[in-house]
Structure 1
Amino acid sequence: MKFEGNTLRVASNDAGIATLTLDLKDSSVNKFGAQALSELAQVVTQLGQDQSVKGLLICSAKDAFVVGADITEFLTWFQLDDEALAQKLREAHDIFTNISNLPFPTVAAINGLALGGGFELCLACDYRVMADSAKVGLPETQLGIYPGWGGTVRLPRLIGVDTACEWICGGQQKRSADALKEGAVDAVVAAADVVDSAQHLLEQVLAGKLDYQARRDALQAPMQFSPIEKMMVFESVRAVVGAKAGKHYPAPMEAIKTIEKGIFQALDKAIETEIKGFVKMAKSDVARSLVGLFLNDQQVKKAASQYRQHATDIKHGAVLGAGIMGGGIAYQSASKGTPIVMKDIRHEALDLGMSEASKLFAKQVERGKLTTDQAMQGLAKITPVLSYGEMNDVDIVVEAVVENPNIKQSVLAEAEAQLRDDAILASNTSTISISHLASALKRPENFCGMHFFNPVHRMPLVEVIRAEKTSDETIAKTVAYAQALGKTPIVVNDCPGFLVNRVLFPYFSGFSALLKDGADYQVVDKVMERFGWPMGPAYLLDVVGIDTAFHADQVMAQGFPDRMGHEGENAIDLFYELKRFGQKSGMGFYLYEQDKKGKPKKLKSEESVKLLQGLHGETNDLAEEEIIARMMIPLCIETSRCLEENIVATAAEADMGLVYGIGFPPYLGGALHYMDEMGVAAFCDLADQYQHLGKLYQPTDKMREMAAQQRRYHPY
């Protein structure tokens, strides 16, 4: 048999072995779109009718096997009515079922990533041979859905219920060693040998040394469990998954329900069970939000990819200012292979920075991500210095000294005099205007902002801030450097706070106003954490640092006095005066002590309660809905302002900035998506109920125009 299409091709050898090669034209990866499914359906039908074919090998011409479904196409599926969506799923299932029922054995040669529908294709085959460098997985729950092409049916039968639930509900990519150990694949070989090994396995089956039909019969039949076994397995799984997923992410628990029902059904009935649950999840608000985030992430990465060619221009970096932040930046650069100089004026600071980097490398060794030798080699890429002598030939310098404009300007001017004329100078300021800092420089075109978030090694976002005189080349090289560090860069224009902190401080202002009106900060924290934030506003302020928040609040109040200024003393002012700086001082809104692992443990502070009662009076009970509205409205309106004023170029970048930068609840999709889902008109109506609280609660004219015209921020 021979077939040549736009997404795959088929050729047979003299022994009757057909090789189906996945090769999507004009794409660097294979993914399943409508055309790929159509061609696969056509080929599978022809293979089943061709009596000369004795066995089928499925492989890929790309570095990856199949990365999954084409989400941009399948988003239109989710907009169909329930029965139309179910029918689309059945048509895809028919293809995979026909593969599993072909009148000859089938083997998948997994050379690279096989995710989602790509891995489900592998599961439909009788055998799987995997490259040692490849990864497999079913990540659909991360999009608010679960596997919809047989993953919940075939994987439990293959590797066991509890392991399959962990794979599906966790949505993680699995390495070859784990996939082999847990029974998801039959062999692991070197990447160069994967196709030959798969063909050899197929020849062994054809020679009668392996019984593929017996394997099929076992995998297609209902599973056998006693009532006690079933109860023990699923109660345990539900407890673990439920604790991790939380109430805002229903897909993992729905997947467990589907698996629990499907394992006692014949294959065709189990598939219908999977389809029914998938339709339910695909229609949920959470799926729309998480799929929207995925598309936004792709758009942000695409916007940044245009600068990738400049990554090679940054061969050596430097950071000014050691300590926790400087050490974190130095570690990130060194760990990704770019040598970096770390300069400070004090030995103690350099020791702290090197200690921070050393701890981070040690953790990678503990987790098995690095060997001790690799960690030592990484640490050796950091050069601690007290003078500028080692910085004559660096390509980029990130200033990370204290958040004070006068000190920063002095350090930046001093550094510029020591650097090559074409070297880039960047400031890690979180709020101070980059154009203001540039006024002290002789080469402002080589200067920009590069705002990392703490802790550097965990937070994925870097804001790259363009000042009035910043050149395009400077932006390009800085974005490329951020990508080389494994970060997601978003280019924003200059203003106090840039994007993330400009949006965050109205959120804190909403919190301060709630305290002024008698809200209990512990109640507010619990409400916002239940709403989906990783930590409430009081706890977040303690983690950020009350001193940092105090100085940033002054910058924001000066930049936007009409809505971010405030009269009288608030909680941040009070705690700053008392040096209750949060975690770093051991007390802020809460008290902190180290746990057994040396991490700060949050404890209730009766003193904080009394201090705030002295400032604002006795606490009052406020409805949960009012707390959420008063916290979220200022944040959402300010995000819209940033888009309107071109601080951020797109709604996608704005929403991803908030999710990656401050932990905006992913299930809500970002501030602008949150308003889209509510309806901009409904959001404006809600805000109008609180307009007496000031300009932070008053929608912009553009927002009201969008509301009147029923427009959205996002196209999906």
Structure 2
Amino acid sequence: MIYQGNALSVARNDGDIAILTFDLKDESINKLSSTVIKELQDAVKAIQAERDLQGLVISSAKSVFIVGADITEFHEMFARGERFLMDMCQEVHTLFNTIEDLPFPTVTALNGLALGGGCEVALTTDFRVMAETAEIGLPETKLGILPGWGGCVRLPRIAGADNAVEWIAAGSQNKADVALKLGVADAVVPVDRLEAAALDILARANAGELDWRARREEKKSPLKLNAIEQMMAFETAKGYVAGKAGPHYPAPVEAIKVIQKGAGESRERAQAIEAKAFAKLALTDVCYNLVGLFLSDQLVKKKGSKYEKQSAPVNKTAVLGAGIMGGGIAYQSAYKGTPILMKDIREDALQLGLKEARKLLAKQVERGKLTTGKMAEALSNIRPTLSYGDFGEVDLIVEAVVENPKVKGAVLTEVEGAVGENTILTSNTSTISINRLAQNLKRPENFCGMHFFNPVHRMPLVEVIRGEKSSDAAIAATVAYARKMGKTPIVVNDCPGFLVNRVLFPYFGGFSFLVEQGADFERVDKVMEKFGWPMGPAYLLDVVGMDTAVHAQAVMAEGFPARMAREGKSAIDAMYEDERLGQKNGKGFYRYEEDKKGKPKKVSDEQAHALVKQVATGSREFSDDDIIARMMVPLCMETVRCLEDGIVGTPAEADMALIYGIGFPPFRGGALRYIDAMGVGGFVSLADSLAGELGPLYAPTDKLREMASRQERFYANDSQTAQNQA
């Protein structure tokens, strides 16, 4: 044994080859924490001291290679400032350069995921062999930073500048066959032949068949690009990527600039450019929030995994109601491999549901995500039916009929009599109390909410709603099924609107106040879209549907009359009464026309403006900051209340639900991170300044005032979020 640590070891094979194996103890994956980097430094020193070595293989004993740096360390590390971060990057550069400069050929054997720092380790060696199922990539831009351990320097010299720009700016994971085509991999083999293939490459390199020294020299030298090639590779790419990333995500464009600046430099000078840019981005609010979201997402996944382990098998399901929503649920279940019965009382409704599923599957075939054979297999997983005949075999049922408590209650009571004692019943309701729907059930412990968001195939969130009598078994099975469908389930407790809609409607309330006092709704939309929302509130209401919004608003007003009940007619009411329902009938706050792809395109409509003026009681001018405050304070305040009321368990789950469910701007981190960024005291002061005029919807809670007085935050220690809250 040449070296033995807690995360990696180095041993000779039967001959003169060193095998460095990553195998982090007590973990299912390998990651490059600061402790692991220290061990790697010691291991490389031990390799340098070893005599008569003729090669090095870097490998993994786990099912992945290395998934990257230890992101739980990021916030604490980044807080130490720019100079520290530059020095840290330079220290790793020195280590990786030492591996690259070893006096014999080197190869990395990639058996699974090699991401971020794991990819950068692999790029240091002369050759890379990948298992057929392995993937490689540099996803750092998704965290608001860029590859800081040589990825921006080595990848362009191995794969070409244009390919490196594409990989790094997109933050993509790339399959082995793609890596082979671009020269990032030198061979792709079955996983059981990986070590043999790596040793074979070293043997051929030592025999002179493969010129490892020339490869190494190319990685250490400037890129060979003339002025026109540089312009094509970088200037065009910067414009395209800036358009795709948008103004709130600087990392992708900054990464291209770093590659461009380093293109004409030697290895060490290019690495210094990379280190400086990494440190600069790491200190931005965008990076702080995106890293925080990653940690929050890990927490949500851990909680989901715990529920899944407690669940009985969910092998066959059913959906009641075969409209667009029912068809979407059937599609998602069948596409992800769980057979599903689709039940309705009308044959034409069943055909509509099947048509929806068929359309979505056909789009997957068009995009190359599915073969026609797989499409046929998925369709065969959907069985339409007009009766309850086969429901005795079903493990879990999703009720997705019209949003009416009497209808839902009747359907749930009916289906309960047709299923086994252990079958889980769920309701895809967006607002109706689960406790209310459970009142007439014989087995309310087997019942909970399963709220999908529309369109089902695109929206990642599923709210799993626990009623007073819902059992842990029902919640676990529902979470497990949502995960099988490829969704992110978040468990919340029952209340009007649950979590997401309860928080969304105060946002719409803020919008109603603005337009009543004279704000132009199109300007409000533009301000909020510039703030980072995918669509402004008027446009979002058109997508939701005015009939749905009026119904949900009534539920909210009944549940929270002090804050959400309103006097007089709102702009939303005016649209509904004039039968302007939004996209579903082609007119709402905007008029809708089909674009070239057949999708609805919004167009300004004078009739809509005239209707809104009829309910306006004033003609005030509002600054952009005024609009943002009036829209964001009630949304954030209601999120705080949901946390305080125990509707949602943690700040992380609350923020992830808003990002996944209604498109809260990810770079702002969620409603509670938004308050943290402003400072709880600053947010309370802002809310108080608005509550005097606009009422209790804007008023801070007593607990939030206490937090402000103690200078507390919702995220006191982000490095613990994913580890301790699950």
Pairwise TM-score range, normalised by the shorter structure: over 0.9
Instruction: Give the match for residue 519 of structure 1.
Output: 519
Secondary structure, in 3 states, of the residue corresponding to 2:192? helix
Instruction: Give the match for residue 17 of structure 2.
Output: 17
Secondary structure, in 3 states, of the residue corresponding to 1:496? coil
Asked whether the 8 Å contact 1:321–1:399 carries over to 2, the reply is yes
- For residues 460 and 520 of structure 1, what CA distance do their matches in structure 2 show? 32
Instruction: Give the match for residue 283 of structure 2.
Output: 283
- For residues 521 and 485 of structure 1, what CA distance do their matches in structure 2 show? 37
Question: Are the structure 2 counterparts of residues 285 and 141 from structure 1 closer, same or farther at C-alpha, using a change threshold of 3 Å?
Answer: same
Q: Kindly state the Cα deviation for residue 14 of structure 1 after the two structures are TM-superposed.
A: 3.7
Asked whether the 8 Å contact 1:613–1:619 carries over to 2, the reply is no
Instruction: Give the match for residue 325 of structure 2.
Output: 325
Asked whether the 8 Å contact 2:81–2:283 carries over to 1, the reply is no
Q: Per-residue displacement from partner, 1:637-694 (whole Å, max 9, x unpaired)?
A: 0000000010001011001111111100000100000111110001111112211101
Secondary structure, in 3 states, of the residue corresponding to 2:431? coil
- For residues 165 and 185 of structure 1, what CA distance do their matches in structure 2 show? 17
Counterpart mapping for 1:332-343 below 5 A: 332-343=332-343
- For residues 275 and 712 of structure 2, what CA distance do their matches in structure 1 show? 33
Residue 448, structure 1, aligned to residue 448, structure 2: yes
- For residues 41 and 70 of structure 1, what CA distance do their matches in structure 2 show? 17
Q: Which letter maps to 1:503?
A: V
- For residues 343 and 577 of structure 1, what CA distance do their matches in structure 2 show? 33
Q: Which letter maps to 1:654?
A: A
Q: Kindly state the Cα deviation for residue 378 of structure 1 after the two structures are TM-superposed.
A: 0.8
- For residues 484 and 655 of structure 1, what CA distance do their matches in structure 2 show? 23
- For residues 47 and 450 of structure 2, what CA distance do their matches in structure 1 show? 56
Gaps of 5+ in 2: 719-726
Instruction: Give the match for residue 550 of structure 1.
Output: 550
Asked whether the 8 Å contact 2:422–2:446 carries over to 1, the reply is yes
Q: Kindly state the Cα deviation for residue 59 of structure 1 after the two structures are TM-superposed.
A: 1.0
Q: Per-residue displacement from partner, 1:256-295 (whole Å, max 9, x unpaired)?
A: 2211111111111111111111111111111110000000
Asked whether the 8 Å contact 1:9–1:21 carries over to 2, the reply is yes
Residue 240, structure 1, aligned to residue 261, structure 2: no
Residue 613, structure 1, aligned to residue 613, structure 2: yes
Asked whether the 8 Å contact 1:129–1:188 carries over to 2, the reply is yes
Instruction: Give the match for residue 625 of structure 2.
Output: 625
Q: Kindly state the Cα deviation for residue 617 of structure 1 after the two structures are TM-superposed.
A: 6.4
Asked whether the 8 Å contact 2:326–2:353 carries over to 1, the reply is yes
Instruction: Give the match for residue 561 of structure 1.
Output: 561
Instruction: Give the match for residue 679 of structure 1.
Output: 679
Q: Kindly state the Cα deviation for residue 312 of structure 1 after the two structures are TM-superposed.
A: 5.3
Asked whether the 8 Å contact 1:311–1:484 carries over to 2, the reply is no
Larger displacement relative to structure 2 (578-587 or 506-515): 578-587
Q: Kindly state the Cα deviation for residue 80 of structure 1 after the two structures are TM-superposed.
A: 0.8
Q: Kindly state the Cα deviation for residue 620 of structure 1 after the two structures are TM-superposed.
A: 4.9
- For residues 321 and 410 of structure 1, what CA distance do their matches in structure 2 show? 13
Question: Are the structure 2 counterparts of residues 470 and 597 from structure 1 closer, same or farther at C-alpha, using a change threshold of 3 Å?
Answer: same
Q: Kindly state the Cα deviation for residue 228 of structure 1 after the two structures are TM-superposed.
A: 3.2
Instruction: Give the match for residue 601 of structure 1.
Output: 601
Q: Which letter maps to 1:450?
A: M
Instruction: Give the match for residue 385 of structure 1.
Output: 385
Secondary structure, in 3 states, of the residue corresponding to 1:232? helix
Asked whether the 8 Å contact 1:127–1:186 carries over to 2, the reply is yes
Counterpart mapping for 1:354-393 below 5 A: 354-393=354-393
Q: Which letter maps to 1:531?
A: F
- For residues 526 and 621 of structure 1, what CA distance do their matches in structure 2 show? 15
Instruction: Give the match for residue 697 of structure 1.
Output: 698
Q: Per-residue displacement from partner, 1:590-633 (whole Å, max 9, x unpaired)?
A: 11122232222222222111211223268654211111110000
Q: Per-residue displacement from partner, 1:443-467 (whole Å, max 9, x unpaired)?
A: 1111100001111111111111111
Counterpart mapping for 1:98-109 below 5 A: 98-109=98-109
Q: Which letter maps to 1:565?
A: A
Q: Which letter maps to 1:183?
A: G
Asked whether the 8 Å contact 1:33–1:74 carries over to 2, the reply is no
Asked whether the 8 Å contact 1:112–1:131 carries over to 2, the reply is yes
Q: Kindly state the Cα deviation for residue 370 of structure 1 after the two structures are TM-superposed.
A: 1.5
Counterpart mapping for 1:646-657 below 5 A: 646-657=646-657
Q: Per-residue displacement from partner, 1:284-335 (whole Å, max 9, x unpaired)?
A: 1111100000000011111111122245521110001111110111111111
Asked whether the 8 Å contact 1:57–1:199 carries over to 2, the reply is yes
Asked whether the 8 Å contact 2:8–2:20 carries over to 1, the reply is yes
Larger displacement relative to structure 2 (494-503 or 362-371): 362-371
Instruction: Give the match for residue 722 of structure 2.
Output: none
Asked whether the 8 Å contact 1:108–1:125 carries over to 2, the reply is yes
Asked whether the 8 Å contact 2:517–2:618 carries over to 1, the reply is no
Q: Kindly state the Cα deviation for residue 13 of structure 1 after the two structures are TM-superposed.
A: 2.3
Residue 642, structure 1, aligned to residue 634, structure 2: no
Instruction: Give the match for residue 396 of structure 1.
Output: 396
- For residues 588 and 405 of structure 1, what CA distance do their matches in structure 2 show? 27
Instruction: Give the match for residue 201 of structure 1.
Output: 201
Q: Percent identity?
A: 59
Asked whether the 8 Å contact 2:300–2:653 carries over to 1, the reply is yes
Q: Kindly state the Cα deviation for residue 702 of structure 1 after the two structures are TM-superposed.
A: 0.7
Counterpart mapping for 1:263-278 below 5 A: 263-278=263-278
Asked whether the 8 Å contact 1:311–1:481 carries over to 2, the reply is no
Instruction: Give the match for residue 708 of structure 1.
Output: 709
Q: Kindly state the Cα deviation for residue 110 of structure 1 after the two structures are TM-superposed.
A: 0.9
- For residues 704 and 229 of structure 1, what CA distance do their matches in structure 2 show? 59
Q: Per-residue displacement from partner, 1:4-37 (whole Å, max 9, x unpaired)?
A: 2211111112431111111111111111112211
Q: Kindly state the Cα deviation for residue 65 of structure 1 after the two structures are TM-superposed.
A: 0.6
- For residues 482 and 612 of structure 1, what CA distance do their matches in structure 2 show? 40
Secondary structure, in 3 states, of the residue corresponding to 1:43? helix
Counterpart mapping for 1:154-193 below 5 A: 154-193=154-193
Instruction: Give the match for residue 127 of structure 1.
Output: 127
Asked whether the 8 Å contact 1:92–1:149 carries over to 2, the reply is yes
Larger displacement relative to structure 2 (228-237 or 50-59): 228-237
Asked whether the 8 Å contact 1:148–1:275 carries over to 2, the reply is yes
Instruction: Give the match for residue 437 of structure 1.
Output: 437
Asked whether the 8 Å contact 2:106–2:125 carries over to 1, the reply is yes
Asked whether the 8 Å contact 2:2–2:47 carries over to 1, the reply is no
Q: Kindly state the Cα deviation for residue 227 of structure 1 after the two structures are TM-superposed.
A: 2.9
- For residues 642 and 182 of structure 1, what CA distance do their matches in structure 2 show? 50
Question: Are the structure 2 counterparts of residues 621 and 396 from structure 1 closer, same or farther at C-alpha, using a change threshold of 3 Å?
Answer: same
Q: Per-residue displacement from partner, 1:165-210 (whole Å, max 9, x unpaired)?
A: 1111110111112212222211222222222211111111111101
Q: Kindly state the Cα deviation for residue 705 of structure 1 after the two structures are TM-superposed.
A: 0.6
Secondary structure, in 3 states, of the residue corresponding to 1:10? strand
Q: Which has the higher contact order (CA 8 A, sep 6+)?
A: 2
TM-score by length of 1: 0.98
Q: Which letter maps to 1:444?
A: P
TM-score by length of 2: 0.97
Q: Per-residue displacement from partner, 1:101-158 (whole Å, max 9, x unpaired)?
A: 1111111111111000000001111111111211111001111111110001111111
- For residues 209 and 677 of structure 1, what CA distance do their matches in structure 2 show? 58
Asked whether the 8 Å contact 2:2–2:46 carries over to 1, the reply is no
Asked whether the 8 Å contact 1:520–1:620 carries over to 2, the reply is no
- For residues 542 and 659 of structure 1, what CA distance do their matches in structure 2 show? 20
- For residues 539 and 472 of structure 1, what CA distance do their matches in structure 2 show? 39
Number of residues paired by the alignment? Answer: 716
Instruction: Give the match for residue 724 of structure 2.
Output: none
- For residues 646 and 6 of structure 2, what CA distance do their matches in structure 1 show? 40
Larger displacement relative to structure 2 (73-82 or 127-136): 73-82
Instruction: Give the match for residue 465 of structure 1.
Output: 465
Asked whether the 8 Å contact 1:668–1:674 carries over to 2, the reply is yes
Q: Which letter maps to 1:233?
A: A
Secondary structure, in 3 states, of the residue corresponding to 1:388? coil
Asked whether the 8 Å contact 1:525–1:538 carries over to 2, the reply is yes
Secondary structure, in 3 states, of the residue corresponding to 1:69? coil
